[in-house]
Structure 1
């Protein structure tokens, strides 16, 4: 037992030293290069998500929240999304100039002028409003460079199996989080799951997202990215976070 503990301790020390010095494994970068290249060449994309996320319930207590999502992206500036959580449906419509949130159950909506590119809009939506609509890091053509810039440590962790399907397993860390990504070993190389653990106070919290039901290069009508207020719906103000 003592020998095993010494071996584990040595691995942890090695990991910490590499993380402080900066380490970016070439195999991990090659896989992420392939992912970014693939998604950068697509004209449209549809996929679903299953998310489990730790959310603050009180000052020192987190609860696990589950939700599902369905997303359609077309070109550089069109997005439609549906999120189901707490038994309710929430919709998002982005047409390249405006983002609209609509609550089906409450029959109310909020609209705001937005950046003219989908990826910029998603980043702006999170930064200004605290809404992380979808984990979309892999959609950037320069995915691997973004990870180099944000992660002190990146490593290919070997092959894994998710739901009977083979995957490449990649891990990374910086001073604020750890990041794990599982990528399919197919001709079309796509993310299967991402797990992010944030080193927040007073406790760490985790976000886990599984991706599936991929459809690529379909042609969707522009009308699905436009929002038409339903009868008797109420418009509310979409306020920025503090």
Structure 2
């Protein structure tokens, strides 16, 4: 992963803010610092609570709430355990395949995957449109990606959320707004972020809050291997290309 060295203490960051810059130095340093810390982790556990706005068939906005428990180890191991109003489902990735299991339906899917978490997320999202919670923040190219996709990135100052001191960063483009809160402590881990769709009249949003971080825990490799429960049925899912090839 991309590495950065920060020689400037975070306490001095507000004093180097350039009011003329579209991508101010405070925000860039904080983003790089967060990416550096995430990139140097050998493993982690965290809980993620998400809120997602969607429109129903009548045009009303409905907010869906989801809880995710995530574990990652090295470059090639990940599990995601998700609860939402539709039930309980899990993902297991072991460096060769991704398995998805629905507890409600008692069925599972096995998808061949590239040999790293980031490449697997990219491939599976592209080919099957499966999204992984908060995946964007773990890309080593995060800062460059934000600069490429947003017109302005600014430092909005310090804040306190649920008694947690945080740094507040905002990014704006013509079609999207991103707000990111990074913990104001030695680790500078992501605490919360929000994406707002400015093109929708309802300004639909996605919001995620990180809780219960565990850094570099000793995670048994066995938890990344999927074992089908008794009676579970393997099913197939079509890729985006397969769907496009189907006759109308």
| TM-score normalized by the length of structure 1 | 0.86
Of 161-170 and 51-60, more deviation after overlay is shown by 51-60
Question: 2:40 maps to which residue?
Answer: 41
Aligned positions, number: 222
| TM-score normalized by the length of structure 2 | 0.84
Question: 1:70 maps to which residue?
Answer: 69
Question: 1:127 maps to which residue?
Answer: 126
Instruction: Measure the CA separation in 1 of the matches of 2:118 and 2:58.
Output: 32
Q: Write out aligned runs for 1:11-160 (5 A).
A: 23-58=22-57, 60-86=59-85, 88-160=87-159
Classify the secondary structure of the residue corresponding to 2:79. Answer: strand
Question: 1:186 maps to which residue?
Answer: 185
Do the aligned partners of residues 58 and 124 (structure 1) sit closer, same or farther apart at CA in structure 2, a change above 3 Å counting?
farther
Offset of residue 205 of structure 1? 1.2
Classify the secondary structure of the residue corresponding to 1:148. Answer: helix
Offset of residue 123 of structure 1? 2.6
Of 128-137 and 26-35, more deviation after overlay is shown by 128-137
| Structure 1 consecutive aligned stretches of length 4 or more whose deviation exceeds 6 Å | none
Do the aligned partners of residues 119 and 101 (structure 1) sit closer, same or farther apart at CA in structure 2, a change above 3 Å counting?
same
Gap runs ≥5 in structure 1: 1-20
Query: In the TM superposition, what whole-angstrom CA distance separates every residue of 1:55-83 from its partner, at most 9, and x where no partner exists?
Result: 23226333110010000000111101100
Offset of residue 222 of structure 1? 1.5
Of 102-111 and 114-123, more deviation after overlay is shown by 114-123
Query: In the TM superposition, what whole-angstrom CA distance separates every residue of 1:86-125 from its partner, at most 9, and x where no partner exists?
Result: 1621100001111111011211101111122111222333
Do the aligned partners of residues 232 and 175 (structure 1) sit closer, same or farther apart at CA in structure 2, a change above 3 Å counting?
same
Q: Aligned Cα RMSD in Å?
A: 1.9
Gap runs ≥5 in structure 2: 1-19, 244-248
Query: In the TM superposition, what whole-angstrom CA distance separates every residue of 1:136-178 from its partner, at most 9, and x where no partner exists?
Result: 2222233222211222210001111100111100000223311
